[in-house]
Amino acid sequence: MSTIETGTLHTVMARVARFVTRRPWPVVAAWLVLATTVAALVAGFGRPTDEDATLPGSSAQHGRDLLEAHFTGSGNATGQVIFRGPVTTAALAGPAQRIDAVGHVSAVGRPVLGADGRTAYVDVTFDLGPRALTAALTGDVLAAAAAPGLEVLPAGALARPHTDTRRSEALGIVVALVVLVIAFGGLVAATLPLLTAALTLVCGVGAIGLAGHLTGIPTVATTLGTMIGLGVGIDYALFLITRYRALLSAGAEPTGAVVETVATSGSAVVFAGGTVIVALGGLTVAGVPILGTLGWTAGLVVLVAVGSATTLLPALLTLLGARLGRGRTGGRPSRWGRLADRVTGRPWRYALTSSVLLLTLAAPVVSMRLGQTDAGDDPAGTATRAGHDAMAQAFGPGVNGPLTVVAALDPAATGSTDPRLAELSAAVARTPGVTSSQPARLSPDGQVASVRVQPSTAPSDPATRDTVHRLDALTVAGVDVAVTGQTALRGALADRVGARMPSVVGLVVLLSALLMVVAFRAPVVAVKAALMNLLSVGAAYGVLTAVFQWGWGVRWTGLDGPVPIEAYVPMVLFALLFGLSMDYEVFLLTAVRESWLRTHDNRRSVRDGLAGTGLVITSAALIMVCVFASFVLSAAPVVKMMGLGLAVAIAVDATVIRGLLVPATMALLGRANWWRPPARLRRPAVSPRSPGVRP
């Protein structure tokens, strides 16, 4: 017997609702105190980010571990300060001395002059790791480097990625407010979802920022958390408010309506949020730390959104009472009702047409190649792009992605005259794809040798991965070598993601389908839901490939031309989209099942479910699409990819799939939708009442 049962979840949520309705002010106060505390901690201690890639078990990580174990300070942050103008060694002596005097700067390299005579750079090494390198410290270094007649640009660890999302957030909130006002017909009801979403962002995204003091959190994790927090925070509140107003219209008194709303639609929200979290949890099996981090950080925000929707929102509804307004009533068939009549009346036509459209959108995915972006892919005018281009033009494209070849020596070398060092240097220098290399360095204990290499191609160029593989295959004096550096690590990450993608997809699909079986006790419905979600994900992948890899309309996103699809983006999108798509599936099928249990007429049930939930699901999806699409305005290509991918998938899912394909296939399957093998379980796990429809 399943551990999740209708009565259990319904009873728990009803108890939560009764507790909240009896103590609305303490609940609101608790959320405000929590949000204020998190915001104060973030303001006081900041939210450090770490763009450093790690990949346990890879050759690149093995090489890095050898360096950190045998070369003191090799794991510390290193960046470059670029000078443009009339550069000479003498002219740069003063800036170099001032940089060296900045706190936490442990070493400043000798100026390296470009062949153009107008570009030079110095390496700056810090006595702390990349995670501890603050914006204030990088600002101090750049200020110290300033000199009359010279333009100063940052590179490496000093070039912090620009991920300001305030414009995207503001645009998403404005659009969401417009949609909510239209959907609810009133400003008070429209502002409640925005309020709960705002507190979700403060608490959830703030917690992610504070976690950066304990573990490495990439910048994209905070941005992704913001996107998801806005989307689900507004959506979950929208579903509950719609249900509450429908109950008021049916004559329920406000407190009872709140309890009924949380017990029914709140249960659906808990289940839907749990589905998203389970899908994100599937990222942990990839064996890629950044994916695991993105999974648990996004899952944390979803958890906070579910909590605010089922506790804070009911408290606010209790305080507002009937002043929130009532839902629309009336017997005239809705547009969604008329669409449902057409789809269920001609299911073959709509099933085939929508399938062809989805497969067409997904077609480009067969040519998708996973790679890695670099600063040269950032929009023109950003500091990261300016520094990257200056270095590439003066010193060659490979200067922005140096590699380090590492060899463990056994027996240990007794000095720099060991012939293995010369052999290693020579083997590396003659490897195709290597522009230049430095002489081999020997660790103080003589156990490890390293050679710094500049490839002939840019970090994002696929040819650079080929160079890494050739260097990795070297055997010098019977010793295997390992190639490390951020470029090598991210290339290895792309290889591993590609290899693990099938297992992650299979696990997420299986877990999501099992959850649907638990919810509806209908295996056919569960399998069909999983297949439909794969189609929406495929459509998103196809659009990503066409826009970013092929360059179709890529300039509309603010980029100069085609860019590689970052290796981990498709896997993160898959987990998120599968979970979010299941949200809409749960809300639609809950309404369909309600009608089925009442009438046992499959076609009527499908028609009633679509007619009853079409408006609320479309409104919720429109908000999500606008929120996600607004993040295409971000300067970071990875954020653009995630924003566009999520927006396309949700738009396709809420219109083509939920509006056409799901009802058409359910009409065709008839009573087979509700087939189930003989079992002791007979009750659905999720309340059969629709979250947005009056029973």
Are the C-beta atoms of residues 194 and 234 closer than 8 Å to each other?
yes
pLDDT on residue 4: 35
Q: In which band, very low, low, confident or very high, does the pLDDT at 326 lie, cut at 50, 70 and 90?
A: low
State the Cα–Cα distance between residues 649 and 655, nearest whole angstrom: 10
**Percent of the chain surpassing pLDDT 90:** 45
Closest CA to 556 of 620, 625, 643, 622: 643
Closest CA to 372 of 497, 479, 269: 497
Q: What is the pLDDT of residues 101-158, one digit of tens each?
A: 999 999 999 999 988 889 999 999 998 887 778 888 988 999 999 989 899 999 888 8
3-class DSSP state of 62: helix
pLDDT of residue 619: 85
Q: In the chain, what percentage of residues exceed pLDDT 70?
A: 94
Judged by average pLDDT, the poorest of 359-373, 438-452, 509-523 is 509-523
Of 335-339, 545-549, 623-627, 663-667, the poorest mean pLDDT is in 335-339
Q: Where are the alpha helices (DSSP H) in 556-636?
A: 569-599, 602-630
d(CA 244, CA 474): 68
pLDDT higher than 50, residue 530? yes
Q: Using one digit for the tens of pLDDT, what is the confidence trace for 267-280?
A: 889 988 988 898 88
Local confidence band at 52 (pLDDT 50, 70, 90 cut-offs): confident
Query: Is pLDDT of 175 > 70?
Result: yes
- The residues, any chain, with a CB within 8 Å of residue 384's CB and separated by 6 or more, are 159, 160, 161, 162, 375, 378
Contact 583, 403 (CB under 8 A): no
What does the DSSP assignment read for 140-208?
Answer: HHHHHH--TT-EEEEEETTS------HHHHHHHHHHHHHHHHHHHSSHHHHHHHHHHHHHHIIIIIHHH
On the question of pLDDT at 689 being above 50, the answer is no
Span 642-665, average pLDDT:
91
Give CA 373 to chain center in angstroms.
16
pLDDT at 349: 94
State the SS3 of 482-548. EEECHHHHHHHHHHHHHHHHHHHHHHHHHHHHHHHHHHHCCHHHHHHHHHHHHHHHHHHHHHHHHHH
> pLDDT at residue 692 above 70?
no
Closest by alpha carbon to 132, among 40, 224, 51? Answer: 51
> How many alpha carbons fall within 13 Å on the CB side of residue 354?
24
Chain centroid to CA 653: how far?
18
d(CA 202, CA 195): 11
